[in-house]
Amino acid sequence: MESKFSIEDALSKLWDKLDGWLDAIILKLPNIVMAIFVMVLFYFIARGIRKLLQKFLLNRISQQSIQDIIARFAFLTVILIGFFVALGVLELDKVLTSILAGAGVVGLAIGLALQGTLSNTFGGLILSFMPKININDFIESDGIKGFVSEISLRNVVVRQPDNNYVVIPNSKFIDGSFKNYSLSERSRIVVDCGVGYESDLQQVEDLVIKIIGENFPQNNNEAVEFFFTEFGDSSINFMVRFWIDMKGAKQEHAARHEAVKLIKSHFDAKDINIPFPIRTLDFGKNTLNMNTIKGKS
């Protein structure tokens, strides 16, 4: 016996279903209002806790990145608690149980799909608690130099001296190496130069050590070091090493700039030659002939 489709019966069943839902919503309306109130309340509680942490507790932590991580974690934790309380107010305990049961399966699937992102996230947590890198430190990583402007759960943002920003994924930053110029108050720099073969080498050494030592004071266990390095094509080359206060590239450039000017001015005063390469073209016995061919008129 074939059953015939009736539009009236379908509409009647749909209306009965919607009517049942409407009655359920009306019965649950106080719970819905209370759940919304709970979520709003926990949102403001989360904001208040975050502000209190930033004002009183987190100020004792020197690293800005750790402060940001803890503040965000506290805010999200309070919001999550409020969400579970709201589900309890709505009497959706079974739904809550299902959500927690399915979270493991969903988390596994998301973890497999987002391995790179999770690697960056855990890298951000590691970087945030590393004492070797802080906000505003001057670092160099994979040929990139600049100031650390942000350490997030995904990447490290570096502001270069030309004011361009470079975003480095945390996973690459963790797996690679980096140099932090801001960890030490003092750094040693090198200035290279050369003098003519006719120069008195001892005079050159004594003069350079004297002028660098007078203009760049050295602390305990520090000294100006001078070394002749090679016989060049047109000069005897040397390098001088000395310590300066340095936490960024600008201080290094400024110190090298000043040292070059000092060496040049004192060499000029002592008639010490800083030669430049000279090329001599020797034609030997070859002669240059020019033949002029006159055109016929």
d(CA 113, CA 102): 17
Q: H or E stretch including 225?
A: strand 225-231
Please tell me the class of the 184-269 domain: alpha beta
Residue ranges of the chain with per-residue pLDDT less than 70: 1-29, 56-67, 69, 91-132, 153, 174, 278-297
CA distance 16 to 82: 34
Give the span between the Cα atoms of 70 and 153, in whole angstroms.
Answer: 12
Same CATH fold, 184-269 and 132-182?
Answer: no
Task: Report pLDDT for 113.
Answer: 45
Q: For residue 189, what are the β-bridge partners?
A: 242
d(CA 102, CA 100): 6
Q: Where are the domains of the chain?
A: 9-113, 132-182, 184-269
User: Helices 93-113 and 64-89 meet at what angle, rounded to 10?
Assistant: 140
> How open is the CA angle 154-158-161, to the nearest 5 degrees?
170
β-strands 236-245, 186-195 pairing: antiparallel
Task: Show the CA angle centred on residue 175, arms to residues 171 and 180, nearest 5°.
Answer: 100
- For the domain 132-182, what is the CATH code? 2.30.30.60
Per residue in 123-182, pLDDT (tens digit) is: 555 555 555 677 888 888 888 888 888 877 677 888 988 889 988 887 777 677 788 888
Burial of 209 from C-beta contacts in 10 A (0-12 / 13-18 / 19+):
middle
Q: Mean pLDDT in the chain?
A: 76
What pLDDT score does 22 carry? 58
Quick one: CA dihedral 136, 142, 145, 146, positive or negative?
negative
pTM above 0.75, yes or no: no
